[in-house]
Amino acid sequence: MNKPGASIVVFACNWDGLSCIEVAAQKGLSYPASVKIVRVSCLSRVHSGLILKAFELGANGVMLLGCSRSGCHFEIESGLIEQEYEKTRNILGLLGLREKKLALIRLPGGDGPGFVKQVNDFIAGIEQTEPAAAQ
Amino acid sequence: MQNIEHEIKDTNIRLCLDCGKCTVVCPIAQHDPAFNPRLIAQRRLSQNSRGSRDDTIWSCLSCYMCMERCNYHVKFPSFIHALRAESLSEGTQIQCNHGGAIQAMMRLMARGDLQQKRLGWLPKDVELSSQSDTLFFVGCAPYFDVLFSDLGVNALEGVKGALKLLNRAQVPFNIIANERCCGRDLLLQGDRKGFTVLAKANMDEFTRHGVKKIITNCPECYYTLKVNYPNMLGSTGIQVMHLTQVVAPLVQGGKLSLGKLEKRVTYQDPCTLGRCSRIFNEPRQVLSAVAGLKLVEMEQSREKALCCGSNSWLQCGAVNRQIQKQRFAQAEISGAEILVTACPKCQIHLRCAQKSSDGKIARLEILDLASLAAQSLD
């Protein structure tokens, strides 16, 4: 499974998001090595500048991985990430880059298999529309 | 580095008499004692400046106020741009506003294989002349409206207004789907390489479409296409005009008649259009052509106009907010209901100040000049 593939940046929140990735690692579930994890304290910390920077630096896709809306560790989910996600999707659309290159995924804590499935589906979607990304 | 030294020499900075008039009129220096144009020049020109880094150069607004006042016409903004290019080449990391989103967007636009989908907003009733050699350069307005949607920015209203005015005046023009950002902000930040890539990509598009004349609504695009492109790439052979330069003679000559709007407005001279490009009269002529519109001037206007407070998406903070507060106070005193500007970036910065104010900033309506003039046609 560890073939080189589309270069993906995952911004994972420090709580449920990261726990999914840790569980995936503990269970020995594999996902492509081209997936780079960036840990952030909360997804609300991620803004369009960071996402666009990842694309500027050559990422083929960016995944935002965080807690479920009601499960935010900071009790009140501000909805900021939704705003930034929509905004960035629209910018990508204007740039003619496919909006599919950006995903916002919310998973319950410790869902390792869920994360691996989501990231693999995401990569498959990108490689299907953008075969050059697979190399 | 040889080039930078040469460029610095060309700014006439060595004629600086150390009189400090630049610093007295500088809007940043008035609120931030750490920023001192006179001392920036002095430090850079002193013999032992090599190797020392001047962190204050990033605060300059490129508002051209210093140049207006300087007896020797020292091109201080160009001097700052050269220092920034020098600093960037030495590896300085700059702090960009909005998380660097705009810079990242500009660099993404520099990609060769880019196929933008940026014309979704184009109203169906706009008449384009695909055979025309005149191009209306839209600029980054579609991107601004998305990025600053939370501020209620509608730069595209200005563009739509401009197109409506041109259609009404029967000026033929075309729009191209894959124009890039003009790159001005990268140039002002000192990223010459990034700017050149964008400029070349745009020039290729212009050549491919046989463009002979360009009309812009954004003053920054206007100046960049007119002055910076030929400077960096050699003569382009393209005539560049700001929308007000096209519309003002038409309304004055009776070829285009605007409608009626009973409003009291004041006009914010964008620095790049006013002091930098010397276009002061045309916007006012367009406004005066709207029947019922009363134009009142702010305390600082025309050559002395105060900047909207921020530039090239760098260093926006408490000092910039002070400048904006000062500008809004002047607008309020003028008694205007609407603050009209001809620059989408002024609109963004002023709306931002209004939104994040503590209620002490006037709740004036902010409108683009072209959209206001087009409103009168309805």
Residues B243 and B102 in one domain: yes
Residues of B with CB under 8 A from a CB of A: 96, 98-101, 104-105, 107-109, 114-118, 142-143, 146-147, 149-150
Structural domain spans, chain A: 8-129
Half-sphere exposure (Cβ direction) of B66: Cα atoms closer than 13 Å: 31
Q: What is the pLDDT of residue B22?
A: 94
Residues B83 and B184 in one domain: no
Nearest CB to A91: which of B96, B100, B105? B105
Q: Which amino acid appears at position B42 of this protein?
A: Q
Q: Compute mean pLDDT per 10 residues along chain A, 135 residues long, and list them.
A: 75 94 94 94 92 94 91 78 93 87 92 95 89 69
Q: DSSP assignment, residue B226?
A: I
Sign of CA dihedral A43, A47, A49, A52: positive
Nearest CB to B116: which of A56, A90, A96? A96
Nearest-angstrom CA–CA distance, B51 and B29: 25
Asked if A47 and B107 come within 8 Å (Cβ–Cβ), the reply is no
Asked if B98 and A48 come within 8 Å (Cβ–Cβ), the reply is yes
Cα A45 to Cα A13, A115, B216, B254, distances in angstroms: 9, 20, 37, 55
Residues of A in contact with B147 (CB under 8 A): 48, 87, 91
Residues of B in contact with A87 (CB under 8 A): 146-147, 149
Residues B301 and B367 in one domain: yes
Structural domain range at position B274: 256-375
Nearest CB to B146: which of A47, A87, A97? A87
Nearest CB to B99: which of A48, A56, A83? A48
B329 CB neighbour count, 10 Å cutoff: 15
Q: What is the pLDDT of residue B2?
A: 56
By three-state DSSP, how is residue A51 classified?
helix
Residues B207 and B270 in one domain: no
Among B189, B222, B247, the domain-final residue is: B247
Residues of A in contact with B104 (CB under 8 A): 49, 52-53, 55-56
Q: Hunting for tokens 């040889």 — which residue is that? A: B2
B239 CB neighbour count, 10 Å cutoff: 13
Q: Give the distance from residue B256's alpha carbon to the nearest chain A alpha carbon, in angstroms.
A: 34
* Mutation to test the B interface, candidates A53, A89, A101, most B Cβ within 10 Å: A53
Asked if B146 and A94 come within 8 Å (Cβ–Cβ), the reply is yes
Consecutive H or E run containing B243: helix B243-252
Residues B78 and B121 in one domain: no
Residues B222 and B267 in one domain: no
Question: Sheet holding B294-295: strands in order across?
Answer: B294-295, B264-268, B338-341, B365-368
Residues B120 and B84 in one domain: no
Q: Give the distance from residue A99's alpha carbon to the nearest chain B alpha carbon, in angstroms.
A: 12
Q: What is the pLDDT of residue A4?
A: 63
**Which CATH number belongs to the domain containing residue B303 in this structure?**
3.40.50
Nearest CB to B101: which of A48, A90, A96? A48
Residues B69 and B108 in one domain: no
Residues B172 and B104 in one domain: yes
Burial (0-12, 13-18, 19+ Cβ within 10 Å), A67: buried
Residues B351 and B368 in one domain: yes
Structural domains counted in chain B:
3
Asked if B104 and A47 come within 8 Å (Cβ–Cβ), the reply is no
Q: What is the pLDDT of residue B213?
A: 96
Nearest-angstrom CA–CA distance, B138 and B133: 15
Residues B110/B116/B122/B127 CA torsion (nearest 10 deg): 80
Residues of A in contact with B105 (CB under 8 A): 52, 91, 95
Q: What is the pLDDT of residue B1?
A: 53
Chain B CA closest to residue A55: B108
Residues of A with CB under 8 A from a CB of B: 47-50, 52-53, 55-56, 83, 87, 90-91, 93-97
Residues B339 and B207 in one domain: no
Q: List the pLDDT tens digit at each of the 378 positions of chain B.
A: 557 888 888 899 999 999 999 999 999 999 999 999 999 998 888 866 666 778 899 999 999 999 999 999 999 999 999 999 989 988 888 888 888 999 999 999 998 888 899 999 999 999 999 899 999 999 999 999 999 999 999 999 999 999 999 999 999 999 999 999 999 999 999 999 999 999 999 999 999 999 999 999 999 999 999 999 999 999 999 999 999 999 999 999 999 999 999 999 999 999 999 999 999 999 999 999 999 999 999 999 999 999 999 988 988 889 999 999 999 999 999 999 999 999 999 999 999 999 887 777 878 999 999 999 999 997
Q: What is the pLDDT of residue A2?
A: 47
Fold of A8-129: Rossmann fold (3.40.50)
Residue B372, token pair as written in the block: 């206001």
Among B39, B70, B89, the domain-final residue is: B89
